Amino acid sequence: MKVISSWLAWGLLVLALTVSSLCVAQTQGGESENLRWFAVDALNGGLGEPPEEANRVTPRESIRSFMELTDQEEYEAAAHMLNLSDLSEGEQREQGRELARKLAEIFQRGEWLSISDLPGREDAVIEDSAGQNPRVGEPRRNIEVSSLKADGETYDIRLGRYRVGDQEPVWLIMPVSVSYIPVLYEQYGPSMLESYIPERFQSSFGLLRIWEWIAIPVFLLFVGMVGWGVHRLIGLMSKWLPAGVSTIFASQIGLPAALITMSLITQMLLDYVVSFSAVATTTFRVLLISILAWGAGTIALRLVDIIMLRMTRRLVGEIDDTKPRDERRLLTSLYALRRVIILITVTGVSIYILGQIQLFESLGLSILASASVLAVLVGVAGQAVLGNILASFQLSFAKPIRIGDLVIFEGQWCYVEGIFYTFIRLRSWDERRVIVPVTYFTSKPFENLSVKSTKMYRFLELTLHLSADIGLVRDKFIEFAKEESNVIEHHKLLCYVTGQTGTAQTVSCYLMTSDPLSGWAAEMNVREKLMTFIRDNHPEWWPREIVVISHHDIARGEQAKRPEEGDSIEVKPSE
């Protein structure tokens, strides 16, 4: 009896497990079906049977059929591509045609719709050969066709996959998207101007309609004339304003201000006067956003430059090493700040433009997939540019040179006049401008004569006869040096004989000067005064050539006699 009960219990357990497994399998199958389509009882019963031209098997074919039918003005057939379940059967027939016509206008004037980008599979499964999308291989039952903005709000046009009973699933514009059509038509429908255009010009010719091929050149000509007028007006204003930084600022913002005005006028005309097809509208939109962002960024940079110019004139003045180091360090920091502002502005403008034209949404995965390749290409192609940019930041923050420093670079005396992204501008002593790439400058040795102090030792050399009185020469050197205003630290004035030959001696004189360029002038002045003193008072101190014709020394004071064969003759310089 116990054995029979045991077998009965095991049988009941197996039966329960089997039934539960079937229920779970059935439930999972139902959930799987719900992920692939929306199950409905009926679709557009008020429209009747769909025409043969209405191919609704895949998202791509559904939208392509809709566009082809509306191009042929068969709006009743195109209404079969809409899910009109929110309308009664009587309203479906009455309003379906009009809704299809309005949606066609929205597609034509709204965002440029690329049908080839829509999925071509019945289940709209996500395909990604690069494997970057984590949802690859996943079927979908609704997809986005277009995303449009109206009155500051975003409205999505989406396709959904619907199945009635055992029939084949079809792709239709979802009911919620159908409800957006009146709102979007107010924004993207024909403008008031188009009601006056003859019907024969309304037909399509290529990507645009006939009247658009005529209107767009006239439109651009009008906007261009407005921009030219603004540029001309700002140019006149720069001449009327008093001379100064305001005049310079006005003369530099003419072009960006004209472009900003043109973009704003164009946007206003597109919103209230005329509306073009999606191809032209999308192109205008990208150009307008780019021009507006570029113009605003350029004006901001010009403003920064004017502020820097004003501060430079007020704090530093002429760019050279006669100014205190703190002022030159401040100017160098201002140039570094300018480059940081430029970098931030360019980055911000680029992000704004890409965000406004929604490149991140449509091309985000492609950009991520090719990021490594793009990085390698940019690194190779822009290696020199990036190297110069990084080197310029290094110079600005480490400050081995500052704006206004006097440097000797490749044998030339130059003032550092500007440190830019990719080059350094040097002002030579003869007012020429030497443009040097930053990496080239940093890879070459140079002398910075202003790195610690502008003081500099200068020296001059005189070649005199052996009979010259060095003490008198020294006294005269100190006297002349003290007369020079740029000679400082008079206790460091030195004058010594530093060389000797058989007929002459070299006298070297050292003096401390306030700055290298003034020191050069002081050196020349002292040399001229010493030469003038010797020429006027002791011309016999000039070195003379001696021809030896005898070893008899006439410097012993012996009685002068007529030179004979073997005697020496001293040849004095001609006076």
Of the chain, the percentage scoring pLDDT greater than 70 comes to 68
CB-side neighbour CA atoms (13 Å) of 507: 26
Tens of pLDDT, residue by residue over 164-179, are 888 889 999 999 999 9
Strand-pair category, 153-164 with 38-40: parallel
Tens of pLDDT, residue by residue over 117-174, are 888 888 888 776 555 555 667 788 888 888 888 877 888 899 999 998 888 899 999 9
- Three-state SS for 79? helix
Retrieve residue 24's tokens. Answer: 């779970």
Retrieve residue 314's tokens. Answer: 């007020």
pLDDT band at 555 (very low <50, low <70, confident <90, very high): low
Q: What is the mean pLDDT of residues 550-570?
A: 51
Tens of pLDDT, residue by residue over 301-316, are 778 777 766 766 665 5
Q: Which of 568, 552, 324 is nearest to 454 (CA)?
A: 324
d(CA 535, CA 545): 17
pLDDT of 341 strictly over 50: yes
Mean pLDDT, rounded, of the chain: 76
> Bigger pLDDT: 115 or 78?
78
Tens of pLDDT, residue by residue over 252-306, are 788 888 888 888 888 787 777 777 766 677 777 778 877 887 888 788 777 877 7
- The pLDDT, as a whole number, for residue 278 is 63
- The pLDDT, as a whole number, for residue 375 is 52
pLDDT of 26 strictly over 60: no
Where does residue 370 rank: exposed (0-12), middle (13-18), buried (19+ CB within 10 A)? middle
pLDDT of 332 strictly over 80: no
Long-range contacts of 135-138 (CB under 8 A, 24+ apart): none
- The pLDDT, as a whole number, for residue 25 is 35
C-alpha 250 chain-centroid distance: 23
Q: How many C-beta neighbours within 10 Å does residue 5 have?
A: 9
Q: Which amino acid is at 480?
A: F
Retrieve residue 22's tokens. Answer: 């079937």
CB-based contacts of 573, cutoff 8 Å, min separation 6: 539, 542, 544
pLDDT of 44 strictly over 80: yes
